[in-house]
Amino acid sequence: MTLYFNSVYFSYPSSINPVLENITAEFHPGWTGVTGDNGAGKSTFLMLAAGILSPQTGGISGNPGLYCAQRTDDLPEDWEDFFASGDPEAGRLTARLEIEADWPYRWETLSPGERKRFQLGIALWKENELLAVDEPTNHLDRDAQEIIADALASWKGTGLLVSHDRTLLDRLCGACFFIRQGQGILRPGGITKGLAEEDREALEARRARLRLRNERDRLADEADARRRVVEGSKNRLSKKHIDPKDNDAKSKRDLACLTGKDRISGDNYRRMKNRVEKLEDRIKKAPLSGSPKRGITLETKTMKMDRLWAVPAGRLPLDPSGARSLSFPDMVIRPGDRIALTGPNGAGKSTLIRFLLERISEQTAVLYIPQEISPEEGQSVLLRIEQETEKNRGEILSRFSRLGSDPRLLLQSRLPSPGETRKLLIAQGVSANPGLIVMDEPTNHLDLTSIRLLEETLREVSCGIVLVSHDDAFLTALTETEWAISRDGDLSIHAKYAEV
């Protein structure tokens, strides 16, 4: 099935500017990556493609598809049919994704990664002609990421894939659709090829604007020189300072005006000024190469103490019954430590983070970014920021912008995306001058640009860092020590990620 977007326009009631405008593109069988900054409209685009939303103008042709959302708050529909079907494919997906039969009955206790595997398993089992998948590898451990990639690669329909995972996009996608400022452009190839083409276009746009500016400046200088000639002519021909009785002088001025030389100078100046104005208009209309996104500086501090946190060896229960537990050696966090907490889904990483936060000294200011933030919590974060003083609000939104998102789109939407909520928490948390930063899956829901900006930001901080992530490149760049949890529930500590 081929999916057609024809001059599609969509805007939410609270939006001043459209989310998507004049989107025209064809999507053929196979996977197409959908990329853009947080809040650019990627999820909206997928919901339009799946028929969940309808455009205000324009049309979308193709059978309605299945939308697999990035959030995993709710138990997927049709889970009972999935287990009861007896379908060999359902059995294969259950085995490949390591889905357990009791997951629906303890949904609230599952890790986000386990929920994601179940959600995707049911979506793939339904075998729609169109599948729109939003961030499928969020929360997944390395083994599960590979399983999901294999499952998506074997799917034969028309697929739209939003992901920040470059490896996945390059592996699966024959084309990528870039959404920027409400506009869309389809580029062939995976994300690496598409980003390289976007960079080339941005460079050419910068060069074109520079050429226009240089030509404008040259003409403006020439116009200014001609203006001075015209003004000199006016002063020279003025009769203001001539003696009223000096008829000879007045006659000479009149004769000079009649020769037309000064009129020609004035005409030349006006033509030159008109050319400068036209160039100014062309510069305003020239494609922008994108605003600079330089990241932010976190004002952190190195605490003047030997240890920020220390716990002797022991066991940590992972469920109320105590049937599952985490065994750990002596654990210490010192000022300036950079720790990666790794392990498979459901191993207890988030539980260990909660254990840490409950026992951290009140003397240590902590910036904590949780793994999952509900839509209601996201709205609450935005409301708190709007209630800040004008100065504080401006500083927070400035940091938010420098992390790669547009504050105007955020304030119009009234509902931050998961990625935008993370950026808001980071931008707000800067003012706390933290001595410890704890982030649980910080790259989940972030666009590719924002991940690079966050990495640059965290690289410069002086405080302690604890990062939970399945993103090896991110951890390697930022951490020096690994706390690794095995499937058997044992935690070991070693210097795996050091790159000094």
Residue 15 shares a structural domain with residue 144: yes
Which helix H or strand E contains 6, and what residues bound it? strand 3-10
Residue 313 shares a structural domain with residue 403: yes
Residue 218 shares a structural domain with residue 365: no
Residue 302 inside a domain? The answer is no
DSSP 371: S
Structure tokens at 253: 């001025």
CA dist 41 and 148 (Å) reads 24
Q: Which residues of 71-104 are buried (b: 16+ CB within 10 A; e: fewer)?
A: bbeebbeebeebbeeeeeebeebbebbbbeeebb
Residue 181 shares a structural domain with residue 208: no
Structure tokens at 162: 């939003």
Residue 362, classed as helix, strand or coil, is coil
Residue 322 shares a structural domain with residue 266: no
Nearest one of 379, 372, 386, 302 to 337, comparing CA atoms: 302
CA dist 234 and 226 (Å) reads 12
Residue 455 shares a structural domain with residue 487: yes
Structure tokens at 417: 């995306």
pTM over 0.75, yes/no: no
Residue 71 inside a domain? The answer is yes
CATH number at residue 128: 3.40.50.300
Residue 301 inside a domain? The answer is no
Show the domain range for 8: 3-189
pLDDT digits (tens), the chain, 500 positions: 899 999 999 998 877 788 999 999 999 999 999 998 877 889 999 999 999 999 999 999 877 789 998 888 889 888 999 999 888 989 988 988 889 999 999 998 887 778 888 998 899 898 788 999 998 887 777 777 888 888 899 888 899 999 988 889 999 999 999 998 889 999 999 998 998 888 888 788 778 778 877 877 877 777 777 777 666 655 554 555 555 655 555 555 555 444 455 556 556 667 767 776 777 777 666 655 544 445 555 555 566 788 899 999 999 998 777 778 999 999 999 999 999 999 988 888 989 999 999 999 888 889 999 887 888 888 898 888 888 898 888 888 888 888 878 887 787 776 788 888 888 888 888 777 888 999 998 887 787 778 888 888 888 888 899 999 888 888 988 999 999 999 888 999 988 654 43
